[in-house]
Amino acid sequence: MRQYHFHEIANKRWCPDVFRNLITDILQFTVMRFRIYESVIPFIKEIMRYMKTTRIIDLCSGSSGPWSQMLAQLQRSEKFVSVTLTDKYPNVQAFEKIKARSGGKIQYIAEEVNATNVPAHLKGVRTVFSGFHHFEPDEARKILQNTVSSRSAIGVFDYTEKSLDKIACAFFLPLFVFLTTAFIKPLTLKRIFWVNIIPIIPLLLTYDAVISSLTTYSVKELKELVKGIDSEGYVWEIGQVPSNLRSVRVTYLIGFPKDLQYA
């Protein structure tokens, strides 16, 4: 299990909201543009059918993650799917925009939601995209234990990996951010200023990307993690699947109570 205790700047409470929101906007653009999480849609469909629910409770949502894209694909077979976005530092402005674009199919909680202690009234399959590595092992176990205690299901998905080539790629992010800023809508003066004039965001994003790679849980570490919680009666599926972006794989952890029956 990992021993280092580095944390991404965007997850620090003292990080200005303008920086955090610009960083999560860029990350969301990347995930959406390259459809990185498209390959996990079958997993989510299967969990929802198993749990007999059409509700998704997304934790650590950032600027909404991949949901505006993924919801449209889920609705091709599951017409009544709804998603509720939550975060420790909710980006209400971004959440409001995606709510409007989805016709109300995507909702959000404007208040802070702690992933280690999800309010009992938030019922549905829990998902975490690109956020699980933010938590130290003890906190990560609390997220899983809270899921077990509430008899919920969870899907954890992450496209970063602890490898030298992924860390090396992070140092090309400033160039990537400079080239893509104009394509992230809406184009704002804040983004132009903090990316192109005073390039704080590319530097912060590069640092956070390196930390993400170093702290992402491997398949082996995820298997060790679930051994440390009281989850009798739960099934854990852990592995990797390829993404739509060459050389990028998505690591997943799925947990659900095994005493339910498929619909």
Structure tokens at 212: 């993400």
Write the pLDDT tens digit of every residue in 52-95. Answer: 999 999 999 987 889 988 998 888 777 789 999 999 999 998 89
> Which residues, at least 6 apart from 56, have a Cβ–Cβ distance to it below 8 Å?
44, 48, 67, 81, 82, 83, 84, 124, 125, 126, 127
pLDDT band at 2 (very low <50, low <70, confident <90, very high): low
The domain 9-257: what is its CATH number? Answer: 3.40.50.150
3-class DSSP state of 18: helix
**Interatomic CA distance for residues 118 and 116, integer angstroms:** 6
pLDDT at 260 over 80: no
Write the pLDDT tens digit of every residue in 209-254. Answer: 999 999 999 999 999 999 999 999 999 999 999 998 878 999 999 9
Task: Read off the pTM.
Answer: 0.91
pLDDT band at 113 (very low <50, low <70, confident <90, very high): very high
| pLDDT reported for residue 248 | 92
Please classify residue 232 by burial: count the beta carbons closer than 10 Å to its beta carbon, then call 0-12 exposed, 13-18 middle and 19+ buried. exposed
pLDDT at 262 over 60: no
Write the pLDDT tens digit of every residue in 127-176. Answer: 999 999 999 999 999 999 999 999 999 999 999 998 888 888 889 999 99
Domain locations in the chain as residue ranges: 9-257
Name the region of 35 (left: φ>0; alpha: ψ -120 to 50; beta: rest).
left
| pLDDT reported for residue 4 | 59
| pLDDT reported for residue 261 | 47
Write the pLDDT tens digit of every residue in 3-53. Answer: 556 788 888 889 999 999 899 889 888 888 889 999 999 999 999 999 999
* More confident position, 227 or 186: 227
